[in-house]
């Protein structure tokens, strides 16, 4: 099963050590085939909203920055608990903050 | 509601970590079985403690530390320790050997050639995948007891054979790795095309095989075939969703909705393929198969498939792996590249191969090619025949549907299947005759198809079935099947279809007898196990029947008079047996004289009279005894078949 882990932005700035640890973590998970895709997201982005026939496009940044997503990882695991364990390892590396783990259905 | 179920968390972490933990412990205690037990102890400890203490911050490290501590405790307990050994034990705990080598070693041992294939898969899923016996059993549709026994037996075999723990190198490493690759691909295929049961796929197994493959590729990055296997599996797995239709039926590659192919996995497959090419070396079987999979994955539509390239790759593959199945796939590719007639000619060269006799894909492929050639009647027959051969329910339904989709003017007159049933249902046949006739006709129907119009049955077809099925059998068997066909033809008022079949001369050729000199060579072999030596000597000296000798109990023996009572007569022997028997009995006073090496598994309960009341071992069976003699005498027999036990008594 696949899970998407999204991470909220945090205030702590990443340092050398974090980069190194994260690089190793990503490499390990990729080799094991657990990590299918990962990436960081630009703050804000573009909002596309539809209402009736009308579609409006708005440029960020937006006020609810705390709810935004700063990064994601798509993992393939055998159970929800394994996905949580991956998130746990990730959080241990990045320090204070929040991540959300959701199962992905399809393709 | 708590999000985390502690028990499930423990098992999830266990699945992720168990291979590394067991591998590290194996290095410490040098015994796979013991390493796994100690690791299991750590799992049990976690299951006991975590519900009250909470899940530790780093659960994987907790399990590893706890398991290693158990191993050190074990080493301390099992040795009377000097101070130096104490330090050694401490050192072991601290030692950080390359983890990768440990896991690779565990993989090689789980797939060791001394183990049967089934044992290798069970051991690999258990030790490397962290699966429980129940999970493995569910995947292979057997009971958990079967798996537990298989694993226990495998561990015992490894211990008994004294399989070394060192990493082999050079050619031996390559050979051992190829056994691992084989096991992984076997697991994948069992998941990808479930050979039995109702589901076409068991995705859990595919995923497990993929994980194992990726793990191996990481542990042995220099091995091109490991990367190639990963590429092959990734690309095959990318089609999982597309290859099963809405009601569970298989969708063939050229009819799949390519939009449903998982591009992520395809990309991973391509990447693995690049790594395989970088590793270099001549292309191996997995690389060629992966290259074929890449060809399919690169074609935007089925029509764009580069069949000529695929046919060429199969041509190379057939050189390395000339199995009938590869040849069949090559025929399919040729049919696509150069037209159905080309393909059909290649397929027809396979129809006499006995190994493909019951392989459903052969008639299925033939049906496909025949349909494309407009030979509808024959195509339909082949699809029905394929359906009767497959063990998978979804596939069977699909094949019947394919047959029914073909428009044919319904043949007049009865079919082979119908006629065979009527022939066997007559009142004037005895049960034994029906049984014998039934064997012949069932095989004919399977080979030619139930739906074959009786009127179109030819002597050529019958001859071909006979050659493939009974070509190698004894003359009597051949003649029995032949006379069935003759009676059947007479009954159905057909011309004699056994025309092309010669009656074979039934010279009662006795099984070959070993020459006395060979027997001397046998006795002088130093490595004969005591039981076999005694049994064979006794048979030779007593000239008694094999059954009578195997049924002897210790209570029947009169060692002083060199004789034993069997029924109303006596079995008597001479000096050699007299010398060996006391050694064999080794103090046993009752029960069977000749007992098997092992105690029977719980699933088998022999009669109490066939069990040794002291050791619980069962009486040695005729089959086993015969097998052992044949195996041993293969070297003596010029025909290399080995001799039967009953031959021993007819020697001077």
Domains identified in chain A and CATH numbers:
2-104 (3.30.70.1060)
Say whether both B482 and B528 belong to one domain: no
Q: Which residues of A touch B4 (CB under 8 A)?
A: 81, 84
Among left, alpha and beta (phi > 0; psi -120 to 50; other), residue B4 is beta
Q: What is the mean pLDDT of residues B543-549?
A: 86
Q: Please say if the pLDDT value at position B308 is more than 70.
A: yes
What spatial distance separates the first Cα and last Cα of chain B, rounded to whole Å? 84
- Supply the pLDDT for residue B95: 55
Of A107, A102, A70, whose CA–CA distance to A83 is shortest?
A102
Which of B16, B218, B221 best probes binding to A when mutated, by most A CB atoms within 10 angstroms?
B16
Say whether both B525 and B645 belong to one domain: yes
Say whether both B572 and B455 belong to one domain: no
> Has residue B19 been placed in a domain?
no
DSSP string, B340-391: HHHHHHHHHTTTT-GGGTT-THHHHHHHHHHHHTT-HHHHHHHHHHHHHH--
> Has residue B524 been placed in a domain?
yes
Q: Which helix (H) or strand (E) holds A76?
A: strand A71-76
Q: How many helices (H) and strands (E) does chain B have?
A: 28, 3
Q: Which residue has the higher pLDDT, B377 or A65?
A: B377
Q: Which helix (H) or strand (E) holds B532?
A: helix B530-542
- Residues in chain A whose beta carbon is closer than 8 A to a beta carbon of chain B? 31-33, 36-37, 74, 76, 78-82, 84-85, 88, 92, 107
The band of A63, judged by pLDDT with boundaries at 50, 70 and 90, is low
Say whether both B579 and B638 belong to one domain: yes
**Please, are residues B465 and B352 in contact by the beta-carbon 8 Å criterion?**
no
> Has residue B231 been placed in a domain?
no
Q: What is the mean pLDDT of residues B527-534?
A: 87
CB of B244 within 8 Å of any CB in chain A? Answer: no
- From B500, B531, B548, the end of a domain falls on B500
Per residue in B269-292, pLDDT (tens digit) is 999 999 999 998 899 999 999 999
Residue with token string 């183990």: B115
Per residue in B46-78, pLDDT (tens digit) is 999 988 888 888 888 899 899 999 988 888 887
- Supply the pLDDT for residue B69: 92
Yes or no, beta carbons of B214 and A33 under 8 Å apart: yes
Among left, alpha and beta (phi > 0; psi -120 to 50; other), residue B522 is alpha
Domain extent for B487: 416-500
Q: Around Cβ B369, how many Cβ atoms within 10 Å?
A: 27
CB neighbours of B497 closer than 8 A, spacing ≥ 6? B457, B458, B459, B462, B485, B489
- Supply the pLDDT for residue B370: 93
ipTM of the complex: 0.81
Residue with token string 């959701």: A102
**CATH code of B494's domain:** 1.10.150.130
Say whether both B641 and B547 belong to one domain: yes
Using the Cα atoms of residue B321, residue B325, residue B327 and residue B331 in order, give the sign of their dihedral.
Answer: negative
DSSP string, B574-600: -HHHHHHHHHHHTT--SSBSSB-SSPP
CB of B61 within 8 Å of any CB in chain A? Answer: no
The band of B604, judged by pLDDT with boundaries at 50, 70 and 90, is low
Say whether both B561 and B627 belong to one domain: yes
Q: Please say if the pLDDT value at position A94 is more than 50.
A: yes
| Of the candidate ranges B25-39, B392-406, B590-604, the one whose mean pLDDT is the lowest | B590-604
CB of B472 within 8 Å of any CB in chain A? Answer: no
Per residue in B250-260, pLDDT (tens digit) is 788 888 999 89
- Supply the pLDDT for residue B283: 93
Q: Which residue of B has its CA nearest to A79?
A: B12
CA distance B215 to chain A (A): 6
Which of B8, B15, B211 is facing A33, going by the closest CB pair? B211
Which of A37, A80, A82 is facing B264, going by the closest CB pair? A37
CB of B12 within 8 Å of any CB in chain A? Answer: yes
- From B500, B532, B557, the end of a domain falls on B500
- Supply the pLDDT for residue B3: 54
Q: Which residues of A touch B207 (CB under 8 A)?
A: 76, 78
Q: Please say if the pLDDT value at position B196 is more than 60.
A: no
Which of A31, A33, A85 is facing B16, going by the closest CB pair? A85
CB of B241 within 8 Å of any CB in chain A? Answer: yes
Q: Which residue has the higher pLDDT, B138 or B326?
A: B326
CB contacts under 8 A, B 624-643 vs A, are: none
> Has residue B527 been placed in a domain?
yes
**CATH code of B581's domain:** 1.10.443.10
Q: Please say if the pLDDT value at position A12 is more than 70.
A: yes
3-state secondary structure B243-301: CECCCCCECCHHHCCHHHCCHHHHHHHHHHHHHHHHHCCCCCHHHHHHHHHHHHHHCCC
> Has residue B282 been placed in a domain?
no
CB of B337 within 8 Å of any CB in chain A? Answer: no
Yes or no, beta carbons of B4 and A84 under 8 Å apart: yes
Q: Summarize chain A as % helix, strand, coil (round to 5).
A: 30, 35, 35
The band of B511, judged by pLDDT with boundaries at 50, 70 and 90, is low
Q: Which residue has the higher pLDDT, B583 or A64?
A: B583
- Supply the pLDDT for residue B333: 94
CA distance B211 to chain A (A): 6
> Has residue B579 been placed in a domain?
yes
Which of B11, B58, B215 is facing A32, going by the closest CB pair? B215
Residue with token string 């099992």: B78
Backbone angles phi, psi at B592, to 5 degrees: -60, 140
The band of B407, judged by pLDDT with boundaries at 50, 70 and 90, is confident
Per residue in B132-168, pLDDT (tens digit) is 888 888 877 788 899 999 999 999 999 888 888 788 8
Of B283, B301, B372, whose CA–CA distance to B332 is shortest?
B372
Say whether both B535 and B617 belong to one domain: yes
CA distance A26 to chain B (A): 14
Q: What is chain B's mean pLDDT, rounded? A: 85
Q: Which residues of B touch A92 (CB under 8 A)?
A: 57-58
Q: What is the mean pLDDT of residues B579-598?
A: 87
Share of chain B above pLDDT 70, in %: 92
For chain B, what is the domain count?
Answer: 2
- Supply the pLDDT for residue B431: 82
Say whether both B456 and B530 belong to one domain: no
Q: What is residue B618's DSSP assignment?
A: B
- Supply the pLDDT for residue B1: 42
Yes or no, beta carbons of A31 and B16 under 8 Å apart: no
Yes or no, beta carbons of B207 and A81 under 8 Å apart: no
Yes or no, beta carbons of A84 and B218 under 8 Å apart: no
> Has residue B600 been placed in a domain?
yes
Q: What is the mean pLDDT of residues A56-82?
A: 84
Per residue in B329-388, pLDDT (tens digit) is 999 999 999 999 999 999 998 888 888 888 888 999 999 999 999 888 889 999 999 999
- Supply the pLDDT for residue B253: 87
């Amino acid at each position: 099963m696949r899970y998407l882990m999204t991470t909220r932005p945090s205030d702590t700035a990443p340092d050398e050590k974090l980069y190194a640890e994260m690089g190793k973590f990503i490499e390990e998970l990729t080799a094991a085939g657990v990590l299918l895709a990962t990436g960081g997201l630009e703050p804000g982005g573009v909002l596309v909203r539809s209402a009736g026939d009308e579609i409006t496009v708005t440029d960020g940044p937006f006020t609810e920055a705390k709810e935004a997503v700063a990064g994601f990882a798509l993992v393939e695991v055998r159970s929800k608990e394994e996905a949580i364990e991956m998130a746990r390892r990730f959080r241990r590396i990045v320090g204070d903050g929040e991540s959300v783990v959701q199962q992905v259905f399809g393709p | 509601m708590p999000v985390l179920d502690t028990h499930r968390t423990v098992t999830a972490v266990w699945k992720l970590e168990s291979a590394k933990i067991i591998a590290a412990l194996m290095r410490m205690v040098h015994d796979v079985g013991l390493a796994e037990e100690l690791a299991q102890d750590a799992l049990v400890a976690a299951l006991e403690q975590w519900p009250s203490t909470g899940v530790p911050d780093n659960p994987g490290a907790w399990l590893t530390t706890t398991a290693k501590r158990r191993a050190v405790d074990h080493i301390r307990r099992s040795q009377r320790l000097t101070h130096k050994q104490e330090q050694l034990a401490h050192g072991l705990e601290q030692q950080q050997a390359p983890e990768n080598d440990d896991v690779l070693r565990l993989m090689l041992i789980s797939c060791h050639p001394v183990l049967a294939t089934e044992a290798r898969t069970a051991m690999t899923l258990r030790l490397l995948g962290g699966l429980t016996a129940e999970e493995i059993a569910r995947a292979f549709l057997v009971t958990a007891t079967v798996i537990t026994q298989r694993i226990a037996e495998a561990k015992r075999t490894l211990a008994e054979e004294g399989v070394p723990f060192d990493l082999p190198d050079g050619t031996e490493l390559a050979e051992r790795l190829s056994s691992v690759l084989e096991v992984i691909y076997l697991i994948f295929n069992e998941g990808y095309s479930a050979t039995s049961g109702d589901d076409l796929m068991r995705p859990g197994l595919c995923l497990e095989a993929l994980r194992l493959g990726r793990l191996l590729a990481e542990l042995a990055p220099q091995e091109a075939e490991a990367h190639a296997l990963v590429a092959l599996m990734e690309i095959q797995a990318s089609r999982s969703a597309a290859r099963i239709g809405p009601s569970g039926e298989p969708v063939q590659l050229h009819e799949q909705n390519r939009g449903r192919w998982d591009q992520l996995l395809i990309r991973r497959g391509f990447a693995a393929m690049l790594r395989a090419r970088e590793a270099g070396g001549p292309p191996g079987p997995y690389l060629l198969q992966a290259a074929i999979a890449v060809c399919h994955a690169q074609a935007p539509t089925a029509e764009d498939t580069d069949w000529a390239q695929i046919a060429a790759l199969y041509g190379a593959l057939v050189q390395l792996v000339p199995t009938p199945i590869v040849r069949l796939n090559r025929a399919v590719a040729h049919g696509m590249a150069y037209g159905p007639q080309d393909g059909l000619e290649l397929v027809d060269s396979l129809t006499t191969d006995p190994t493909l006799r019951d392989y459903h894909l052969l008639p299925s492929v033939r049906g496909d090619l025949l349909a494309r050639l407009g030979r509808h009647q024959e195509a339909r027959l082949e699809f029905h025949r394929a359906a009767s051969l497959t063990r998978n329910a979804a596939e069977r339904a699909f094949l019947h549907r394919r047959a029914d989709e073909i428009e044919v003017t319904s043949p007049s007159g009865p079919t082979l299947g119908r006629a065979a049933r009527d022939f066997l249902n007559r009142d004037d046949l005895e049960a034994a005759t029906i049984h014998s006739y039934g064997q012949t006709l069932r095989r004919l129907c399977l080979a030619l198809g139930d739906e074959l119009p009786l009127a179109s049955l030819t002597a050529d077809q019958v001859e071909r079935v006979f050659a493939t099925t009974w070509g190698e059998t004894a003359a009597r068997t051949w003649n029995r099947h032949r006379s069935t066909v003759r009676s059947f033809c007479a009954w159905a008022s057909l011309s004699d279809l056994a025309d092309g079949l010669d009656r074979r001369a039934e010279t009662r050729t006795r099984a070959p007898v070993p020459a006395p000199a060979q027997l001397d060579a046998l006795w002088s072999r130093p490595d004969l196990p005591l039981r076999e030596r005694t049994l064979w000597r006794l048979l030779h000296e007593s000239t008694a029947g094999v059954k009578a000798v195997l049924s002897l109990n210790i209570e029947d023996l009169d060692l002083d008079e060199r004789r034993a009572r069997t029924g109303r007569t006596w079995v008597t022997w001479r000096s050699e047996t007299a010398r060996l028997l006391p050694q064999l009995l080794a103090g046993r006073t009752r029960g069977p004289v000749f007992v098997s090496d092992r105690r029977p598994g719980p699933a088998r309960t022999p009669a109490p009279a066939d069990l040794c009341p002291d050791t619980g071992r069962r009486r040695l069976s005729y089959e086993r005894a015969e097998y052992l003699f044949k195996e041993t005498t293969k070297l003596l027999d010029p025909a290399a078949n080995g001799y039967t036990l009953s031959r021993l008594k007819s020697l001077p």
